[in-house]
Copies of this chain bind each other. A is one copy, B any other.
C-alpha cells in the first residue's frame, strides 16, 4: 500500500505511507507522549506488538516476559517485506512499491528507563544486536541501505515514551548518503585521506571536543545545524558499521553514554534524534568513507528558512555548546 515517490524538481524521495496515519497520536502536535505505563512495549504486553524477530533474554520463551531487549516489526510499518520492489515511471514521476522492512528495537524492559540510564555494556549490546540485523537484512540483495535511528521525546517525533529505536531497510540509497559519499570520495582522490579521519584527528584536541573514550570521540561539528548537535566518531577508520568489532562498540557505547548524560545534565533531559550514518550495504571496505553517529537535540524548530533553502540557522556556536557539554560533570 505504501510507495516511494521521487520529486522531479527537488529530487528527494518520500515514503507515502497511509498506514502510518493510524498510529497513536500521529497528528497530535500537542498531544501527550508521557504515559505512566504499562504500554505495548512493556513486559506482559508482548501480544500487543507483532511477534518478535529477535530478543535478548535472561529467561522465558519468545514473546513472553524475561527479555532485556526485543526487536519486533513496526505495527504501523512505512514499508513492507512482501511488497514487490518494482520501479515505475509515469511521465515526470518516478515511484516504487513500498518494499523494505521497518523494525522497532525496544531497548529495555523498564518503561521508565532511558538510553542514558543504561550501563555502557547494555548500549554496546544494543549495537551488537543492530549489527546482527544489518547482516541479516543485507542477505536480501534487494535491500541497499538500512537507516538506524532513534526519536527520543515528543519534540523529536516519538509517539511512545518507552525507550526504543528503529530500523528502516530500503531498496534505495538515500540522496543524503549518496552526496556524503561523493564528497568523501572527492576528498580522498584529492588528498589520499579519509575526510572523517582527518576531521577526528583535528578535533581530538581543541574547542569542539566534548568527550573522548579510547576508541571514539564526541564532538560538536564545525557547521552544526542545530544547537548542541553532536557527532560520535570512532577513531579507527571503518566504512561500514556492521564491520565494527565488539571492542569498537564498547568504546562507542562509553562515548555515547557520557554524551547523553552530559546533555541530560546541561539541557535538562532534552528530546533528541540519534542517527547512524554508514556506507551502503555489501560494498567492500571503502578507504574514503567512515561511519558515525549523529545526535541532534531538538531545542528549536525547523522553520521556513530551512524548508525553503536547505540552510540552517544555529544560535549556539558549536564551540560554546562543546564547552558547556565538556564542563557538565557526570559520573
Q: Which residues of A contact B (CB under 8 A)?
A: 5-21, 26-27, 29, 78, 91-93, 145, 147, 149-151, 154-158, 166, 168, 170, 174-177, 179-180, 183-184, 187, 195-196, 198-199, 202, 221-225, 227, 271, 273-277, 294, 296, 298-305, 307-318, 320
Contact = CB atoms under 8 A, between A and B. Distances in A.
Given A177-B310, A273-B303, A275-B304, 11 more contacts: A8-B195, A10-B176, A10-B180, A10-B183, A11-B183, A29-B301, A92-B199, A151-B304, A273-B304, A273-B307, A296-B304
B300 A5 contact: no
A149 to B, nearest CB: 3
Contacts of A314: 14-17
A291 B115 CA distance: 45
Contact of A311 (B10, B15, B305): B15
B174 A9 contact: no
**Dominant SS among interface residues on chain A:** mixed
A166 B305 CA distance: 9
Contacts of A221: 7
A313 B20 contact: yes
B176 A310 contact: yes
Contact of A17 (B12, B18, B315): B315
Contacts of A198: 92
A115 to B, nearest CB: 13
A191 to B, nearest CB: 10
Contact of A222 (B8, B166, B174): B8
B304 A156 contact: yes
- Centre residue among A11, A78, A170, A315 by max chain B CB count within 10 A: A315
Residue of A13, A187, A271 with most partner-chain B CB within 10 A: A13
Contacts of A312: 12-15
A311 to B, nearest CB: 5
B273 A14 contact: no
Contact of A305 (B5, B158, B168): B168
Nearest to A157: B303
A166 B303 CA distance: 11
Contacts of A309: 145, 147, 149, 168, 174, 176-177, 275
A314 B10 CA distance: 16
Contacts of A298: 29
Please indicate which of the listed interface residues A6, A8, A277, A305 has the most CB atoms of chain B within 10 Å of its own CB.
A305
Nearest to A78: B313
A240 B209 CA distance: 44
Contacts of A29: 155, 271, 298-301
B147 A308 contact: yes
19 contacts: A6-B223, A12-B312, A16-B317, A18-B317, A21-B315, A29-B271, A93-B222, A154-B301, A156-B303, A157-B300, A157-B301, A157-B303, A157-B304, A174-B310, A273-B303, A273-B304, A273-B308, A275-B308, A296-B304
A317 B93 CA distance: 15
B300 A27 contact: yes
Nearest to A7: B223
A221 to B, nearest CB: 6
